[in-house]
Chain A
């Protein structure tokens, strides 16, 4: 946080009457990188939280064959849906603390006061969260697909669909996390707010594997996932920033 507060201090020193000019592009990248590196460092120094989400993901996926019975044909049919739903829940679980610690120790306020556009810093935080927590889920998904007897090509489609879809989960989930920051029972409430908005991602993510298995090709589903990703990438950071300002004011 030190580097960031230094940056905002220089900005405050300028006369208040002058409209602060937008920082130049290299400086914007610098601000983005500062937050990203700091968040990654925190994630690696406290790996427990990250690994808990991963273990939750693996366990939920492994519970399904025990619940519905181990017939390979049935498992092959439902593999994509199970992995996707578990990824959705694990993502919600790990996102629920996204802003909570920062809110408690005041880091969030210094992010809000920094001389950089808040959506940019939010994007850096989300990128770090995705790289440190969610990417692990995506990387381990082929192993879980083996448990469900998925073919190699279907596993590849599942992997790509998760790779395209999980950033949307992080981006949209962050809206819920920002709206509920500091509330009692925030985790539960956040899932209640966010899961309805994530239904399309689930449908097209799991649908990609179904379409592949039905020999229809997963291209259309990938295109829709890419579209959702671009939309979320443009819109979500601004909404998260607005929600954080509401929460902290």
Chain B
């Protein structure tokens, strides 16, 4: 518990993040290559969807990450609001662009999959609509943060907005259950898995690769944010001067 508070200081977190990043990039690359090999080469052709289904190896991890990152971002924003912790708000800020990219990727790959399978790029289905709203929420978070000059006020205002937006995440997650629309239901649920094992393994490996990528990208961004906000302090100037 003490180490959490120890690393809550940006000055101490900065080198820790720097040490973690290379390993995370390596994990993302290796897992990504292995996952794509499993998904594109080893996994069998789907009986109904043919080869087109293979986009799930990107689509499903991206969609999971889009929701998860929002929760993580709102969580950090909440911690920042309650404990007035600078680093937590910086983490929320650093996660937002990655989350927005994941949401966009999920929507884009979904459209690419929808055209051959459903015969249309886009439908106003509950899950697609709520995922689009999630993208708007990310954009709103970043726009509000960017519009406020005072950084502490920006952190707090955007954090409050992120917390309000959390109501959307369960709506996305349960949308295929609540509204029986075009998007298919979950293939992986507590009661069992309705897909072949090589497909499942490929998807889980890709999910781990996405995790590693997202954490690495967020940590890199939070390092830049720390440098930018603490630029007047002695340790940042020393760090920047050092080779």
Contact check, A243 vs B160: say whether CB atoms are below 8 A apart.
Answer: yes
> Which of these binds chain A: B25-33, B102-110, B133-141?
B133-141
Contact check, A179 vs B157: say whether CB atoms are below 8 A apart.
Answer: yes
Residue B229 at the A interface, CB < 8 A? no
Residue B68 at the A interface, CB < 8 A? no
Given the complex, which residues of B lie within 8 Å of A179, measured CB to CB? 144, 157, 160-161
Which residues from 192 to 249 on chain A have a C-beta closer than 8 Å to any C-beta of chain B? Answer: 192-193, 195-197, 199-200, 239, 242-243, 246-247, 249
Contact check, B157 vs A246: say whether CB atoms are below 8 A apart.
Answer: yes
Residue B85 at the A interface, CB < 8 A? no
Number of interface residues of B (CB under 8 A): 20
Given the complex, which residues of B lie within 8 Å of A199, measured CB to CB? 129, 133
Contact check, A189 vs B156: say whether CB atoms are below 8 A apart.
Answer: no
Given the complex of chains A and B, what is the CA–CA distance between A228 and B182 in angstroms?
25
Q: Which of A184, A189, A195, A196 contacts B144 (CB 8 A)?
A: A189
Classify the secondary structure of B's interface with A. Answer: helix
Contact check, A189 vs B143: say whether CB atoms are below 8 A apart.
Answer: yes
Contact with A along B70-101 (1 / 0, CB 8 A): 00000000000000000000000000000000
Given the complex, which residues of A lie within 8 Å of B165, measured CB to CB? 196-197
Number of interface residues of A (CB under 8 A): 20
Given the complex of chains A and B, what is the CA–CA distance between A3 and B210 in angstroms?
59
Residue A146 at the B interface, CB < 8 A? no
Which residues from 40 to 96 on chain B have a C-beta closer than 8 Å to any C-beta of chain A? Answer: none
Residue A180 at the B interface, CB < 8 A? yes
Given the complex of chains A and B, what is the CA–CA distance between A231 and B147 in angstroms?
29
Residue A59 at the B interface, CB < 8 A? no
Closest 5 CB pairs of A and B: A196-B136, A193-B140, A246-B156, A196-B133, A179-B157
Residue A15 at the B interface, CB < 8 A? no
Q: Which residues of B contact A (CB under 8 A)?
A: 129, 133, 136-137, 139-140, 143-144, 147-148, 153, 156-157, 160-161, 164-165, 167-168, 171
In the complex, which of the residues B140, B144, B165, B167 has the most CB atoms of chain A within 10 Å of its own CB atom? B140
Given the complex, which residues of A lie within 8 Å of B148, measured CB to CB? 183
Given the complex of chains A and B, what is the CA–CA distance between A78 and B161 in angstroms?
32
Name 14 A/B residue pairs within 8 A (Cβ), A-sorted: A179-B144, A179-B157, A179-B160, A180-B147, A183-B148, A185-B147, A195-B136, A196-B133, A197-B137, A199-B129, A199-B133, A243-B157, A246-B153, A246-B160
Contact check, A247 vs B143: say whether CB atoms are below 8 A apart.
Answer: no
Given the complex of chains A and B, what is the CA–CA distance between A199 and B147 in angstroms?
24
Given the complex, which residues of B lie within 8 Å of A242, measured CB to CB? 160
Expressed in whole angstroms, the minimum distance between the Cβ of A100 and any Cβ of chain B is: 14
> Given A180-B144, A189-B144, A189-B147 in contact, is the A196-B156 Cβ separation under 8 Å?
no
Smallest CB-CB separation from A242: which chain B residue? B160
Expressed in whole angstroms, the minimum distance between the Cβ of A8 and any Cβ of chain B is: 24
Given the complex, which residues of A lie within 8 Å of B136, measured CB to CB? 192, 195-196
Smallest CB-CB separation from A175: which chain B residue? B164
Given the complex of chains A and B, what is the CA–CA distance between A239 and B157 in angstroms?
11
Contact check, B164 vs A192: say whether CB atoms are below 8 A apart.
Answer: no
Expressed in whole angstroms, the minimum distance between the Cβ of A121 and any Cβ of chain B is: 18
Smallest CB-CB separation from A186: which chain B residue? B147
Contact check, B153 vs A247: say whether CB atoms are below 8 A apart.
Answer: yes
Contact check, A183 vs B147: say whether CB atoms are below 8 A apart.
Answer: yes
Given the complex, which residues of A lie within 8 Å of B164, measured CB to CB? 175, 197, 239
In the complex, which of the residues B137, B148, B167 has the most CB atoms of chain A within 10 Å of its own CB atom? B148
Contact check, A193 vs B156: say whether CB atoms are below 8 A apart.
Answer: no
Contact check, A196 vs B137: say whether CB atoms are below 8 A apart.
Answer: yes
Given the complex of chains A and B, what is the CA–CA distance between A185 and B143 in angstroms?
11
Expressed in whole angstroms, the minimum distance between the Cβ of A193 and any Cβ of chain B is: 4
Given the complex, which residues of B lie within 8 Å of A246, measured CB to CB? 153, 156-157, 160
Expressed in whole angstroms, the minimum distance between the Cβ of B161 and any Cβ of chain A is: 6
Given the complex of chains A and B, what is the CA–CA distance between A183 and B147 in angstroms?
7
Given the complex, which residues of A lie within 8 Å of B156, measured CB to CB? 246
